[in-house]
Amino acid sequence: MSDTSALDEEIWGWLVELIKAAHEMDAEVFQARLRSFADEVTPAGQHRAGPFLWYLLRNALGGKVGGRVPTDAELELISHDYSVKFGALVNADRTILEDTFRSVFERVPLKKEISAAELMVLAPPALGVLYDDPDAELGRMKPHLDKWWQKYSEKLRSQGLIK
């Protein structure tokens, strides 16, 4: 990677495609792209994608409440607003969506703890339904994610959270 960008552009491209497919609300296309991601991206690449999705989802949710960390009550309201669209893409109910939201803020889950592997499946459709314009949002977020990744990737690696 060059000093100007620490992001894995291949992984970034896959995530953009997954989020955009989710935004289009075509469950078959979204699921096919998700399977392709799982089949074609190395386990190390999938590990790197997790923190990218965590960062994007955390920021998307903050954007829904004026750029601050949402309260538990706000996460509940947001999950109510988007659960029907989310459920049309993945076989998950509203509490799973809220638990996905709660996981990126390290909150106690309502129903179940969302694992890193589950976040890989649940965050793209959550982002797809949260974003009004995925191209604009992802374009705006990419430089912020890159700076965050440059700052924290070694720490995540040293903690064994990524390879």
User: What does the pLDDT look like over 53-74, one tens digit per residue?
Assistant: 999 999 999 999 999 999 999 9
- Higher pLDDT among residues 32 and 3, named by residue: 32
Residue 1 lies in a domain: no
Helix (H) or strand (E) holding 106: none
Residue 145 lies in a domain: yes
Rounded CA separation 125/123 (Å):
6
Residue 132 lies in a domain: yes
Query: What's the pTM?
Result: 0.92
Residue 42 lies in a domain: yes
Number of domains in the chain: 1
Residue 163 lies in a domain: no
Name the residue among 49, 53, 73, 72 with its Cα closest to residue 130: 53
- pLDDT tens column, 75-118: 999 999 999 999 999 999 999 999 999 999 999 999 999 998 99
- Contact between 75 and 107 (Cβ < 8 Å): yes
Rounded CA separation 143/148 (Å):
9
For residue 67, the enclosing domain spans 9-158
- Contact between 118 and 90 (Cβ < 8 Å): no
Phi, then psi, of 108 in degrees rounded to 5: -65, 130
Residue 103 lies in a domain: yes
Residue 82 lies in a domain: yes
Predicted local confidence at residue 8, as pLDDT: 87
Residue entry with tokens 């399977």? 35
